[in-house]
Amino acid sequence: MKNIITLLLIAFTVTACKAQINVRKYEKKGVYLKEIQQAIEYNLSQIKMNEPEYYFIPDPPLTKQHYFYNYFTEKAKLRMVELFEGKWTEEEIESRINLNYEKDTLNPRNEFYKDAKKIAKRDSLPLQRVWDSMLNTRIEESRKNIADSKYVDDRVINIAGYLRDPRFLPYLKKMDKGNYVSKEVELALARYGKEPYLSNAIERHYKRGSFGKLAYICSNEVIEKLYKYAITKEGLDCDSNGMDCYSLLAESAMSRLVILFNSEGMAKEMREVKYEYEYPDYREPDKSYLKKMRTITKKYYKQFKEQEPDCENVPVYAW
């Protein structure tokens, strides 16, 4: 979830007196894990608007071991359950009611305000009284819609799948209605190892070359797919416009294998090959380069293929 993901803390833009803690500051200085845990707990309890400004997870503080799982305390996980259940406080409901459009009386396209003027003229009533009454009705409608809403933000689903807490699983399963299941729910259930979501998600993201999504799923099946891609694919990895081709397609899959194997040795050997090609004179990756990288990949695949991947240590930037 590379795009997302650098994403993951529920933090909303707020107009109320309480605001979210900007966790981005924790990337710029050394902090204790407890500080991040407290920030996440606070932000999860201060959701003020329907659309989040960002969900953000900083890089690990002090230790790389199980850092992401440790960001979310029991209190934070219980709040996650409330988000799945749509349990909003009255303060949260009030803060999510947005009447910016209705109140923009200078907007020539504001049909709401035009209707208020028509009713006031028709019934010979003060415009302000009619408009206030219409606004109050709209507020009550919005309040009821928010309280009754079953909507869960995609990023909440992504967090739940990543954490793999058994308490989230029943809610994710309920989101599979009829013949439709969203890609986010499918991905989250795939990380739980549930079928047919696991097989479907792996096949979908393998065909698309979405290695971040595969790393998020984190399973032995994913490792097999990434290894197959790394050993067989040629060509350059370019952006959607066919430009900015910086690395080989196979190398993109290899980078996720390094993460899933959690192998400093594999990362070190690959860095040495890269260094060999970059210094003293930069050379484009060629068949010789790819052969060396594949030799390293085969070596570590043989070493780690029978082991369970260390899914608790898949970093957010890998998504």
pLDDT, one tens digit per residue, over 9-51 is 333 333 333 566 766 666 656 667 788 888 888 888 776 554 4
The confidence band for 148, taking pLDDT boundaries of 50, 70 and 90, is: confident
Q: Which range has the top average pLDDT, 95-104, 191-200, 226-235?
A: 191-200
Q: How far apart are CA 312 and CA 69, in angstroms?
A: 7
Q: CA 163 from chain center: how many Å?
A: 12
Instruction: Tell me the pTM.
Output: 0.76
Q: What is the pLDDT of residue 50?
A: 47
Mean pLDDT of the chain, nearest integer? 80
Q: How far apart are CA 107 and CA 96, in angstroms?
A: 22
Q: What is the pLDDT of residue 192?
A: 95
Question: For the stretch 213-244, what's the b/e string if a residue is b when 16 or more beta carbons lie within 10 angstroms of its beta carbon?
Answer: bbbbbbbebbbebbbebbeebeeebeeeeeee
Of 28-37, 136-145, 156-165, 298-307, the least confident: 28-37
The confidence band for 201, taking pLDDT boundaries of 50, 70 and 90, is: very high
The confidence band for 216, taking pLDDT boundaries of 50, 70 and 90, is: very high
Contact between residue 294 and residue 231 where contact means Cβ atoms under 8 Å apart: yes
The confidence band for 246, taking pLDDT boundaries of 50, 70 and 90, is: low
More confident site: 72 or 246: 72
Percent of the chain clearing pLDDT 70 (strictly above): 76
pLDDT at 117 exceeding the cut of 60: yes
More confident site: 42 or 245: 42
More confident site: 16 or 256: 256
Segment 279-285 shows an average pLDDT of: 79
Segment 256-270 shows an average pLDDT of: 92
pLDDT, one tens digit per residue, over 150-186 is 778 787 888 899 999 999 999 999 887 655 568 889 9
pLDDT at 114 exceeding the cut of 70: yes
Measure the CA angle with vertex 239, ends 274 and 296; round to 5°.
25
Q: What is the pLDDT of residue 116?
A: 87
More confident site: 253 or 33: 253
